[in-house]
Structure 1
């Protein structure tokens, strides 16, 4: 969660944290409403994310589904995956010194803050 708070805005995308207490219907609605491009999903919640994606695919075109990146347990990797985005490959492809993108308008969003409790999901929208 800490990493996404810096990485997502530095890529010019909008960060949207999601409450982990939501059910799959709520998660699907949030993914659709935010027009999510990438879902960072803690490995413990892959089942819930999978169910939300099943609901979402029934409601949107397949090209509008977000990519999924499962964040695995660092100390005891589980190998859990959902989708094609690999965390290590994505991180290793980053630039060590990255300039922040220029904002065209000071009112451009940086984050959608609609969580009320524990968050382990992050969504990147817009620029991914």
Structure 2
């Protein structure tokens, strides 16, 4: 293979591109407005994001049908501040509770949820 300055430039650009740091989820979580519950389609709070101030019985309306890889409860503590996640639309098959300030990424089982409700505490415990 003939190694020219063009090849060297290409290799240099490729190395820089692959060495770029991954944005920590905490930075991306800042995109979720205060008082909202947010879900992202990709790990590390990346990709398509849906955000809700209230309950949503069908995430499909927001392009998130079984498509959440990261979730974050940026709700205001007090009152209805816990978010219950459900596998199915219309609050079917409870899965988990996300407390205020809590976020889940790697713990999610890839694209699980279809609805959520704000509640005053976690369902169990």
The normalised TM-score by structure 1 is 0.28
Query: Which has more radius of gyration?
Result: 2
- Name the structure where strand makes up a greater proportion of residues: 2
